[in-house]
Amino acid sequence: MKYRSLVFDFDGTIADTLDEGLKIYNHLAGQHGLKKVDDHEIHILRNMKLNDFLDHLGVSRMLVPKLLYRGTQMLKSRIERLPLIEGIKDVLPFLRQNAENFGILTSNSVDNVKLFLQHHQLENTFDIISSTSKLTGKAKHLQSIRRRFSTQPEEMIYIGDEIRDIKAAKKAGVPIAAVSWGFNSADALLDAGPDYLMNHPAELTNLVH
- Alpha-carbon distances, residue 94 vs 14, 149, 157, 185 (angstroms): 15, 19, 16, 26
Confidence of residue 103 (pLDDT cuts 50, 70, 90): very high
**pTM exceeds 0.75 for this model:** yes
- At residue 95, what is the residue type? L
Let me know the angle formed at the C-alpha of 56 by 52 and 113, rounded to the nearest 5 degrees. 70
Assess whether pLDDT exceeds 90 at residue 154: yes
Confidence of residue 136 (pLDDT cuts 50, 70, 90): low
pLDDT digits (tens, 9 = 90+) for 43-84: 899 999 888 989 999 999 899 989 999 999 999 999 989 999
Assess whether pLDDT exceeds 80 at residue 38: yes
Tell me whether residue 40 is exposed, middle or buried, using C-beta atoms within 10 angstroms of its C-beta: 0 to 12, 13 to 18, 19 or more. Answer: exposed
Assess whether pLDDT exceeds 90 at residue 17: yes
Q: Which residues, other chains included, contact 138 with Cβ-Cβ below 8 Å and sequence gap of 6+?
A: 105, 107, 132, 158, 164, 165, 168, 169, 172
